[in-house]
A and B are shown apart, each in its own frame.
Chain A
């Protein structure tokens, strides 16, 4: 871009355009359209996480920085998310200073959205209105004239369809047309901050402009669907059916992909080691890194399908209905209808779930939601349960399926129990906060954005989990294959004399009560990097030979079935000890990322530390109790 253009109309490099609007106005979809979806979402280190930043695509003129702010329902008694957005809008945020605003307005709800626009208008920054949901106007029986609206507001109004990208060019042209200036006397800036007056002003403005014409009766499709999904008798069956299909699909749809990945990794590992069977480097790469990564990569399809279906549910508008359905039981437990979305996300990963909890307005309810999130059975536990269940139930796949479903359901029930008990014991003042939750209009899912969002979430997950898995695998292979040997300081040794063994023997007394030996202990400790690392650690400490013709998981299962305690010669993986391990993983907070995120989010080491100690302690004690009880009743 020439400097000339920069002086006249186009923005400078660090010009920041903020997307603002109420929730469900289509901001994030517009963000996707503007930036081509390449914004940073995976950065969960700071509070900036819910400010999506990106640069606009070059085809829309000079690339500029776009920041997508969380939606704001109301600046009165705001949730932390809303508070953050209001802070940025009012220029009080320390890092993000907006130079211009794109006010995203839902054409079907002009009154409420323009009333919010008053807050933006009062900032005196260049502003354009992006009119979304224009395609829904038919359904609500209205038509909106953008030109008349623009004349009445004194601000450019551009109808956009973020799903197709239509109108986006015009939107930027309008922004450039302002030339960094504020149109004086625009009506948006005159809207009062007092709601009763403000709504009157907006109504008057819309009436005077003649921009809205009512053509028919309001949206009947959404009401018709709601009559069914919120029905007195059908409501809950539909709700459970949706959740069951969600989890069933994860297992059935993923199977062919899992077989494919499994085959590819076994092939790669055996090819690598067959090149030079005696080379330490090749064995390191094949049996260490590849075997470790492969053991976990197998579960990637399941995780992608989970993310896909979650995004699909979010996009269709059903999640808000689900939250409405369970508000009554959740508020009884001291939670909030809005806790439903974080809890459901918790089944994918606790980290995005902790962030999703920001939509809960009251700190007390948010705290309680975050407190029980580690109990939700996250996708990182999936590989662990899959392996342990395969070892426990060598029979048909449906048995494992049912057992897994039982684990998921219990995680929800026990989470509720812990929430209810915590609320009753520790929270004295139990006045519930306001629900007042918007139910968006149902929309036909948009496949392309959903796939893109799935990919963004999935690859963020891969990056987050992949690196620790690779590092831990490599380190584990080295310490379990090398040790002190008299004469030579460090040399390749058999497993029993390796560093890992030496370390492991020290913690074995703690592990014995739960029926585990030092090798399982090494797995459990390495799982604090990420729970799924347990599987790859097991593959390494139990020496699964990649040169075998069998697939890796079968190889690992064979090793586990024959593994014995070094001193007594008894089998390690008995039904009792496997159930004990499942119980341990069920409760224990083996995820340092979650601890770090909770600390940051609640700004409290105390809460994060307490959570870590409480759940891990609970997991260990219950595992010991389970194993000892089972043994007392004659289960080996």
Chain B
């Protein structure tokens, strides 16, 4: 866990283990906590099945280290790193 600055400390107490999907090990099943990113894009991610509470896992990183493949509700979706970072998991 990274050291957070003071202003974030309070938030950290509220969700002690939330971290972006990009920080999760390969094939490790994790639960979505919340989405935090541009409103329109997050609305689409929600609609695609990335809803809080849902279990997802990263199954693959593309060779250039950018899009990563995420398994959600039986589907495989390629997400860019910046998109995956909006998905905060427990």
Are A236 and B49 closer than 8 Å at their CB atoms?
no
Distance from A198 Cβ to chain B, minimum over Cβ atoms (Å): 9
Are B40 and A76 closer than 8 Å at their CB atoms?
yes
Interchain CB contact (< 8 A) of A331 among B52, B61, B80: B80
Are B80 and A432 closer than 8 Å at their CB atoms?
yes
Distance from A192 Cβ to chain B, minimum over Cβ atoms (Å): 12
Q: Collect the chain B residues with CB atoms within 8 Å of residue A112's CB.
A: 48-49, 73-75
Are B49 and A328 closer than 8 Å at their CB atoms?
no
Are B69 and A230 closer than 8 Å at their CB atoms?
yes
Are B63 and A329 closer than 8 Å at their CB atoms?
no
Q: Collect the chain B residues with CB atoms within 8 Å of residue A76's CB.
A: 40, 43-44, 46-47
Q: Is the interface of B mostly helix, strand, loop or mixed?
A: mixed
Chain B contact-residue range equals 20 to 34
Contact with B along A49-85 (1 / 0, CB 8 A): 0000000000000000000000001111100000000
Interchain CB contact (< 8 A) of B51 among A109, A195, A436: A195
Q: Collect the chain B residues with CB atoms within 8 Å of residue A196's CB.
A: 46, 51-52
What is the size, in residues, of chain A's interface with B at 8 Å between Cβ atoms?
Answer: 45
Are A436 and B63 closer than 8 Å at their CB atoms?
no
B66 within 8 A of A: yes
Q: Collect the chain B residues with CB atoms within 8 Å of residue A233's CB.
A: 63
B76 within 8 A of A: yes
Q: Is the interface of A mostly helix, strand, loop or mixed?
A: helix
Are B63 and A231 closer than 8 Å at their CB atoms?
yes
Residue in A closest to B81 when the chains form the complex, CB atoms? A328
B1 within 8 A of A: no
Are A325 and B79 closer than 8 Å at their CB atoms?
no
Are A235 and B74 closer than 8 Å at their CB atoms?
no
Distance from B63 Cβ to chain A, minimum over Cβ atoms (Å): 4
Q: Collect the chain A residues with CB atoms within 8 Å of residue B71's CB.
A: 218
Are A325 and B63 closer than 8 Å at their CB atoms?
yes
Are B74 and A438 closer than 8 Å at their CB atoms?
no
CA distance A195 to B50 in the complex (A): 9
Q: Collect the chain A residues with CB atoms within 8 Å of residue B77's CB.
A: 436-439
Are B44 and A111 closer than 8 Å at their CB atoms?
no
**Which residues of B11-69 are within 8 A (CB) of A?**
40-41, 43-49, 51-52, 54, 59-67, 69
CA distance A438 to B45 in the complex (A): 12
Distance from B44 Cβ to chain A, minimum over Cβ atoms (Å): 4
Are B63 and A438 closer than 8 Å at their CB atoms?
no
CA distance A227 to B59 in the complex (A): 9
Q: Collect the chain B residues with CB atoms within 8 Å of residue A223's CB.
A: 59-60
Interchain CB contact (< 8 A) of A232 among B40, B47, B63, B73: B63
Residue in B closest to A111 when the chains form the complex, CB atoms? B73
Distance from B78 Cβ to chain A, minimum over Cβ atoms (Å): 4
A324 within 8 A of B: yes
Interchain CB contact (< 8 A) of B45 among A327, A436, A440: A436
Contact flag A436-B74 (CB < 8 Å), given A235-B63, A324-B69:
no
A222 within 8 A of B: yes
Contact flag A435-B67 (CB < 8 Å), given A108-B74, A109-B73, A115-B49:
yes
CA distance A328 to B80 in the complex (A): 9
Are B80 and A435 closer than 8 Å at their CB atoms?
yes
Are A435 and B83 closer than 8 Å at their CB atoms?
yes
Interchain CB contact (< 8 A) of B75 among A109, A235, A323, A324: A109
Residue in A closest to B75 when the chains form the complex, CB atoms? A109
**Which residues of A110-167 are within 8 A (CB) of B?**
110-112, 115, 140
Q: Collect the chain A residues with CB atoms within 8 Å of residue B82's CB.
A: 432
CA distance A227 to B27 in the complex (A): 12
Interchain CB contact (< 8 A) of A437 among B46, B63, B78: B78
Q: Collect the chain A residues with CB atoms within 8 Å of residue B59's CB.
A: 223, 226
Q: Collect the chain B residues with CB atoms within 8 Å of residue A108's CB.
A: 74
Are B76 and A74 closer than 8 Å at their CB atoms?
no
CA distance A439 to B67 in the complex (A): 12
Contact with B along A419-437 (1 / 0, CB 8 A): 0000000000000101111
Q: Collect the chain A residues with CB atoms within 8 Å of residue B44's CB.
A: 74, 76-77, 434, 436
CA distance A325 to B75 in the complex (A): 18
**Which residues of A547-588 are within 8 A (CB) of B?**
none
Contact flag A199-B63 (CB < 8 Å), given A76-B40, A111-B73, A436-B77:
no
CA distance A323 to B54 in the complex (A): 27
Residue in A closest to B80 when the chains form the complex, CB atoms? A435
A337 within 8 A of B: yes
Q: Collect the chain A residues with CB atoms within 8 Å of residue B69's CB.
A: 226, 230, 324, 439
**23 pairs, CB–CB < 8 Å, chain A vs chain B:** A111-B73, A111-B74, A112-B48, A199-B51, A199-B54, A218-B74, A223-B59, A226-B59, A226-B76, A230-B60, A233-B63, A235-B63, A320-B78, A324-B78, A327-B78, A337-B78, A434-B41, A436-B44, A436-B48, A437-B67, A439-B69, A439-B76, A440-B76
5 tightest CB-CB pairs across the interface, nearest first?
A235-B63, A74-B47, A328-B66, A439-B76, A328-B64
Chain B residues with CB under 8 Å of chain A are: 40-41, 43-49, 51-52, 54, 59-67, 69, 71, 73-80, 82-83
18 additional A-B pairs beyond A74-B48, A77-B44, A437-B67, beta carbons within 8 Å, are A74-B44, A111-B73, A196-B46, A196-B51, A200-B51, A227-B60, A231-B63, A323-B78, A324-B67, A327-B66, A328-B64, A328-B66, A331-B80, A432-B82, A438-B75, A438-B78, A440-B76, A441-B76
